Structure 1
């Protein structure tokens, strides 16, 4: 699956239109990749997170690189923890629940109104309870995921780690109130696995970066 991918990505550093690939130019990833992890380093990462990473992503980390060039502004680095570091306290090992996005939308519609309460104290109590539930739902949206990349404007790419959607890439668009939604190709059904997502980006980057006749992407 990943044979030759590292070489293809690094070759784009010399492509004539490399800066026209979104996220690569300026202070972007520049088609650089971190070294791949060793099996020992990967095991340390998984122990730290308390999860086994999805197979396609594990293989990428071992064969291609531990971060760097990728869709949008690239892949976040994934480094083994420092010696003696305690296990991560994050929610990676919890189940991913995609239905929470719809539940959060429903909850927003139930926001208390002053007119529905007999006095200010009653409204304040109801609103505090509503807000606590809102915060809990918002935080739980990313349970069972790992943020793997930056899309810009506080949008992120996340990888679902286990369960029915394990190994697929979703978008964290909470910044615009849309929760966590699947990554999909315009012309393709279903959710994208990590490999399909990354290789689709690479093929597009190559078409743009190596175009030599006419506008970028015309070759």
Structure 2
């Protein structure tokens, strides 16, 4: 079976859900190896018409052949659902995604590292303040500047947040721009900028490689737990 084919994957996951060792897989508590129903090709066409962008082919095929979300890396692939005539993604951090800006090129380059270092050096230290209230006020002002720099909506235009790994770590699929089709890791909770997720040979990770890698690891974990 080729890396671009999803034949048999939904059935394989349904079998894993019944395996005695399924609970040993990281993230099981979030997805329970349950998949959303697949979308029809017409529904995906409607989704893309709303977004103004064609989804990467492997992710597009996954939605149609496997499911609209559910069992997958981390605590599961965020499901895409329709409310009325509007489509949206649901999950812990899905609100970071702006569906109206997915056609804009994803910026491979984030905040200027020099600006980040300079701002970090200015982080208030409690021992430098006589009053706790003064420290809290200064820290609050610094945090607002830091968030404006690190968590600007401009940082993730052109990308879909796919899943969360716990502790506010997330992963994104780029759908527009030169990085289209590739997965990026979001460790901004640790004050690090987004980075491309790379394979063992430093090759870019596509959605298919990302998902199939998780599935292979899940199978090994279940077999070991048996």
Instruction: Output the TM-score relative to the length of structure 1.
Output: 0.78
CA distance in 1, matches of 2:195, 2:79: 23
Q: How far 1:132 moved relative to its partner?
A: 6.5
Structure 2 gap ranges (5+): 88-97, 123-140
Give the match's secondary structure for 1:210.
helix
Q: Is the 8 A contact 1:73 1:151 kept in 2?
A: yes
Max Rg structure: 1
Contact 1:36 1:63 survives alignment (8 Å):
yes
Pairwise CA RMSD: 2.7
Alignment of 1:109-188 (within 5 A): 109-111=117-119, 135=148, 138-139=151-152, 140-185=154-199, 187-188=200-201
Aligned to 1:96: 106
* Match of residue 74 from structure 1: 76
Structure-1 residue corresponding to 2:45: 43
Q: Normalization by structure 2: what TM-score?
A: 0.76
Note the alpha carbon deviations across 1:43-72, whole angstroms, 9 max, x for none.
222122222111110000010000000011
Asked if the contact 1:51/1:93 (under 8 Å) is kept, the reply is: yes
Structure 2: distance between partners of 1:190 and 1:89: 28
More helix by share: 2
Aligned to 2:12: 8
Q: Could you list the runs of 5+ residues in structure 1 that have no partner in the other structure?
A: 114-127
Match of 2:204 in 1: 191
**Cα contact 1:142–1:180 (8 A) shared by 2:** no
1:21–1:155 distance in 2 versus 1, CA, 3 Å: same
Distance in 1, matches of 2:183 and 2:101, equals 17
